Amino acid sequence: MDWERDYIGAATKASSAAPPPCTAASSSSDDNDDAAAKRGKKRGSYNCGHCGLPKKGHSCHVGSSHSPAPDSSSAAATSSTLPVSAAAASSALAASASTVTVMPSALSSAARPPQSPPPLLPHHPISHLRCALSFDDLDVRADEEEEDIDEVEPDLDERDRDFVDGDADAGGLPARCLWEVLRRLPPAELLAVARVYKGWRETSRRVWWAAEDLKLRVPSRAQLYFVGSVLNKCPELVRLSLWMESDVDATMLACIAFSCPNLESVEISTSSNAVNRITGDELGRFVADKRCLTCLKMEGCSNLGGLVLSSSSLSTLWLSDLNSLSKMVFNCPNLREISLEFSRNGNDCTDLIATVDGLGRSCPILQNIHIASVRLSHAVVLALTASNLRGLRMLSLVLGSEITDASVAAIASSFSDLELLDLSGSSISDSGIGMICNVFPETLLRLLLALCPNISSSGIQFAIAQLPLLELVECGMTVCDSNDESLISDEAINHGMEKRPNSNLHLIHQKLIIKHSKLKKLSLWGCSGLDALYLNCPELNDLNLNAYKNLLTDRLLIQCPSLENVYASGCQELLIEVIQNQVNNNSFPMENHLPFKRLADGSKRVRVPHFLCQQQFDVYKKQRRRPPCNVLAE
């Protein structure tokens, strides 16, 4: 492992201020020395390998507290294997996900799933403000990832054939079957089994070689050496996702760039106590050097400073926690999806107008734009609409209280094919909604207008009635009496959403009548100005009524037979009961698909069509059984 020694040597020289990387908590000091030597520290190891303090006169407690328990987390990864299909939800990453998805690398590229067209932005920016409405199942990408990990039989070439037919002694499993077993292990276990038996080591090595998808949690003590070792095992890696609990800087990027030449997708998420020190220059260099990088997602980008990204391959870019960038230039002609979330503590001074202007110029095929910043204003919208982004399908400009109806007019006149429009946190009013309904009835699928204080229930009603293709409507905390302290969620306050004065007294005691044939998700959380709600939506799956305080129990009617989840936390007990009664009585009988004839004695006989066998008839029975609706109230 010569390269490692040199490389790690360079790293430790560079970050001389940082404590030396810690190795495994093996108790014998001999191992520490060996490991330290291996790490390329030229001097003797004067520092304890566990905690970095000088060894002399030091007794280390770190090792003992982290002694490996069989089912507790190891440094490499937690031992729970999350089904990799839960990849999309960022919460899945947080919940201890470290998995290795193995796709046999021997497959030709034709067998690889085609580049997916950029779907919806999976997690919405103010998802903390929107309590329970989750868009995860609307995320096409999640589904496609599920297909990615469909197991495909590997094509074994000549040398592999020897491997397969070889010795089947170990545990009685031929290598091919062992491969199937080992590929289902999480990374930590995969490394552990390498020690069991030679054949297992060989097989586990092959599993690593074939890995294309890797999700890794990097704990706070493990450093570059750790990530480097893992990445070194999977040279074919295509998608890498790191959940950093330790600080991350450019040496991590260099490590990634070095180890994984074929990398197409990089995602770096940071926990709350990890600091992302990557600067704009370093990121720019990384992106420019990686010729096949198509997707880059990074959190905690508060140290970027200034950013110039040039890449002809990049098509998806998500950056969050941005703060005061001196400039942001994206020379990415293939960029399809961009998401920029700026920090919300009010001291961000990025010039959004210049940024958006540049976006319009250099990324002509943008389809999805998402910008979250309190400094969004009408001028920014004008800069956006002045550009020639004819392909725009999803536009999300949130938290901009200076976005007005005039902005909506500009959007409506420039982009005629929007499928998603999100202006949450803006100052648009019912006339803005009117403009939206004039222009987008044939294309708009998702409308999000949470925290817009100038919208009334009649505006919402109008929108839903006029937009026949709508599948998702989010109107959290729009129709509410903003003088009611208890309504403003803590998160809203934390994120700098000040209580905006609501001058419209008529926004209380409102009612909402919604009848829509396609609506699937409706969110009305915190709408305390509503006291009557009538819903008749045959396709509605999700209904969010969190913090729905003032709803009178006798003015609630829900006629939605497909309802699967109702979120009602923060509602009064009585209301929850009423909701439960209503949704559980909604089991309308399914139409009888089978023809029947009336006999002479007046009885009805159902006739089973003769082409149906027993099994197909059972399918009808399955359809009739719908799962009961969950009413979730914490």
Partner 1 sequence: MSSSSSSSSSPPCPKKMITLKSSDGETFEIEEIAALQSKTLENMIDENCASTPIPLPNVKGKILAKVVEFCTKHAEAGADAETLRAWDAEFVGVEHAIVFDYILAANFLEIPTLLDLACESVAEMIKGKTPDEIRKFFNINNAFSPEEEEDVRRQNQWAFE
Q: Is 522 in the site for partner 1 (CB under 8 A)?
A: no
Binding status of residue 605 toward partner 1 by CB under 8 A: yes
- Identify which of residues 42 and 195 has a Cβ nearer to partner 1 in the complex: 195
- Does position 225 interact with partner 1 (CB under 8 A)? The reply is yes
Query: Should residue 35 be labelled a site residue for partner 1 when binding is judged by CB under 8 A?
Result: yes
Contact stretch for partner 1 (CB under 8 A) within 138-146, 218-226, 484-492, 576-584: 218-226
Size of the site for partner 1 (CB under 8 A): 68
By CB under 8 A, what part of segment 112-171 binds partner 1? 151, 169-171
Indicate the Cα dihedral angle 148, 150, 151, 157, nearest 10°. Answer: -40
Q: Cα(394)–Cα(371) distance, rounded to whole angstroms?
A: 11
Q: Which one of the spans 338-346, 479-487, 559-567, 606-614 is the region binding partner 1 (CB under 8 A)? A: 606-614
Answer for which of 70, 114, 589, 602 binds partner 1 (CB under 8 A) is 70
Provide the angle, in degrees to the nearest 10, between the axes of the packed helices 175-182 and 198-210: 60
Q: Which of 26, 127, 331, 502 binds partner 1 (CB under 8 A)?
A: 26
Rounded least distance, CB 346 to partner 1, Å? 41
Q: How far is the CB of 58 from partner 1 (least distance, A)?
A: 19
The C-alpha atoms of residue 414 and residue 433 are separated, in whole angstroms, by 16
Q: How far apart are CA 451 and CA 449, in angstroms?
A: 7
Q: Does 174 bind partner 1 (CB under 8 A)?
A: yes
Binding segment for partner 1 (CB under 8 A), chosen from 66-74, 348-356, 396-404, 482-490, is 66-74
Pairwise CA distance, residues 222 & 245, whole Å: 9
Nearest alpha carbon to residue 299 among 271, 329, 326, 269: 269
> 532: exposed, middle or buried (C-beta count within 10 Å: 0-12, 13-18, 19+)?
middle
Question: Whose structure tokens read 């929108």?
Answer: 463
- Strand bridging mode 510-515 / 530-536: parallel
Sole binder of partner 1 in the list 56, 195, 490, 505 (CB under 8 A):
195
The count of other CB atoms within 10 Å of the CB of residue 101 is 19
Q: What is the spatial distance between Cα 114 and Cα 126, in angstroms, rounded to a whole number?
A: 31
Assess 355 for contact with partner 1 (CB under 8 A).
no
Contact flag: residue 5 with partner 1 (CB under 8 A) = no
20 binds partner 1 (CB under 8 A): no
Question: What minimum distance in Å lies between the beta carbon of 101 and partner 1?
Answer: 14
Sign of CA dihedral 190, 195, 196, 201: positive
Which tokens is 494 given?
Answer: 């934390």
Question: Binding partner 1 by CB under 8 A: which of 58, 198, 555, 593?
Answer: 198
If we measure between CA atoms, which residue out of 231, 201, 270 comes closest to residue 7?
Answer: 231
* CA dihedral over 449, 450, 451, 455, signed as positive or negative: positive
Residue 328 bridge partners (DSSP):
307
* Per-residue interface string for the shown chain with partner 1, residues 245-274, x marking contact by CB under 8 A: ------------------------------
* C-alpha separations of 575 from 472, 535, 554, 580 in Å: 24, 15, 9, 9
CB of residue 293 to partner 1, shortest distance in Å: 27
Q: Is 71 in the site for partner 1 (CB under 8 A)?
A: yes
From candidates 25, 126, 244, 439, binder to partner 1 by CB under 8 A:
25
Name which of 18 and 170 has its Cβ closer to partner 1.
Answer: 170
Among 123, 136, 137, 197, binds partner 1 (CB under 8 A): 197
Interface with partner 1 by CB under 8 A: which residues?
1, 23-26, 31, 34-35, 38, 66, 68, 70-71, 74-76, 79, 81, 151, 169-174, 176-177, 180-182, 184-189, 191-199, 201, 221-222, 225-226, 229, 605-616, 618-619, 621-622, 625
